[in-house]
Amino acid sequence: QVQLVQSGAEVKKPGASVKVSCKASGYTFTRNTMHWVRQAPGQSLEWMGWINAGDHNRYYSQKFQGRVTTTMDTSASTAYMELSSLRSEDTAVYYCARDSGRDWLLDYWGQGTLVTVSS
């Protein structure tokens, strides 16, 4: 079965960077794009961008352009999301979500990684 297992919670200071990992299993990793979505405490979901596991093409929401970088290690079936210049408003749970392969539909999600930004 498809599983996405994310790295553990992080606490960072303002201005720092954070890198979250997402290890996939149960499917052929290079066949599906991976998306990243975040959720601030008590808030809705906010899409950040995607990376294609086959050709590593990326697309980011304009809101995060310049601050977010998504990468992949296909040999380890792991995707990464790095967010830089952290501020308190970046405190959120960050999710990886697999693209079903059908028009950006997010069909499986990781368990989430809480990133807390605090001085």
Partner 1 sequence: EIVLTQSPGTLSLSPGEGATLSCRASQSVSSSYFAWYQQKPGQAPRLLIYGASSRATGIPDRFSGSGCGTDFTLTISRLEPEDFAVYYCQQYGSTPLTFGQGTKVEIK
Using CB under 8 A as the criterion, which residues of the chain lie in contact with partner 1 when the complex forms?
35, 44-47, 59, 61-63, 95, 100, 103-112
Kindly tell me which of 16 and 40 has the beta carbon lying closer to partner 1.
40
Shortest Å distance, C-beta 118 to partner 1? 21
Kindly tell me which of 29 and 50 has the beta carbon lying closer to partner 1.
50
Which contiguous run of DSSP H or E holds residue 5? strand 3-6
Question: What's the Cα-to-Cα distance from 104 to each of 58, 97, 108, 114, rounded to whole Å?
Answer: 13, 10, 12, 24
Kindly tell me which of 46 and 82 has the beta carbon lying closer to partner 1.
46
**Beta bridge partners of residue 11, listed in sequence order:** 116
Shortest Å distance, C-beta 97 to partner 1? 8
